Structure 1
Amino acid sequence: MAVYNPYQAYQNNSVTTAAPGELTLMLYNGCLKFINLAKASIEQKNIQEKNINIQKAQNIIHELMVTLKMEYDISKKMMSLYDYINRRLIESNIKNDSSILNEVEELITEFRDTWKEVIQLNRQQQYNGKGGQA
């Protein structure tokens, strides 16, 4: 018999009902979470946990890469940045270097904050568009 976990059910529902823009925001937040867990693991000299969390951050970067629509110039630029981030994550994992993770964290935070602004602007435009028709 499966144990009902309301938090897990909420998380699953959040992901399955989220708009694509919200999913991207969730990916950025998840990546930041795993980077911070990896940094803590480096401080605690827990190599296995560091490796697991960096790999989770890499998986998120890979997901962001495969969802890019390459017909847009901005997507090509983002692909280069994601590739750079992925290489830096690998380097950090090999060297146990949290300063590299700090650099990656700054980049992801900037992407996340910019993406959040885009979502907010999009919502405002949708709201203003609907408000003008009433």
Structure 2
Amino acid sequence: MAHVSINKYRQVSINNVQDMAPYEQVKLILVNIVGKLAAVKGCIERKDIEKKGLYISNCISLIGALQTALNMDEGGEISENLASLYEYCQFKLVNANVENDVEGIIEVSNIIKNIKEGWDAIPQDVRQSAQQAATG
């Protein structure tokens, strides 16, 4: 019975994400990455190798989703810089996984937090214009 409830909750969560504006989706991904990186630090400290690998893998996938979402045609230098940062973060996460490197995790977390701060600073009118342009 519990599995049925969990599956229904996951389905509702997936539907809610699909209904979100792209701005909100990216914000959710960034928040998720920061949370998972905090969990990775704890896993390294507790020597929980299995969960550490799972969380790092999730973070790498989420960063990949952010990379895929970049509009390289219209984003110009900002998109190029973000693509480079995302690639660097993925590289650091792979190394941190192999080396159990808490400092590498902290570095990536700080980079993602800085990106999120910039994302949060986008004015509401710019967000709405981008949403309208995306939906046609």
Distance 1:79 1:60 in 2: 13
2:14 to 7, 12, 15: 12
What is the Cα-based RMSD across aligned positions, in Å? Answer: 2.0
Equivalent position of 2:4 in the other structure? 3
Q: 1:56 to 1:107 in 2, by over 3 A?
A: same
Equivalent position of 1:80 in the other structure? 84
Deviation at 1:124, TM superposition (A): 7.9
Instruction: Please give the TM-score of this superposition, normalised by the length of structure 2.
Output: 0.82
Distance 1:3 1:39 in 2: 32
Distance 2:77 2:127 in 1: 24
Equivalent position of 1:61 in the other structure? 63
Equivalent position of 1:101 in the other structure? 105
Distance 2:83 2:94 in 1: 17
Equivalent position of 2:132 in the other structure? none
Distance 1:70 1:35 in 2: 27
Equivalent position of 1:27 in the other structure? 29
- The structure 1 segments of at least 4 consecutive aligned residues displaced by more than 6 Å after TM superposition are none
Deviation at 1:36, TM superposition (A): 1.1
Distance 1:125 1:85 in 2: 26
Deviation at 1:4, TM superposition (A): 3.3
Deviation at 1:123, TM superposition (A): 4.2
* Bigger share in helix: 2
The letter of the residue matching 1:38 is V
Q: Gapped runs of 5+ residues in structure 2? A: 129-136
Distance 1:117 1:100 in 2: 26
The CA deviation string for residues 17-61 of structure 1, in whole angstroms up to 9 with x for no partner, is 100000000110111111111111001001111111001000011
Percent sequence identity over matched residues?
27
Instruction: Please give the TM-score of this superposition, normalised by the length of structure 1.
Output: 0.83
1:48 to 50, 54, 65: 50
Give the greater-gyration-radius structure (CA).
1
Equivalent position of 1:130 in the other structure? none
Q: 1:44 to 1:4 in 2, by over 3 A?
A: same
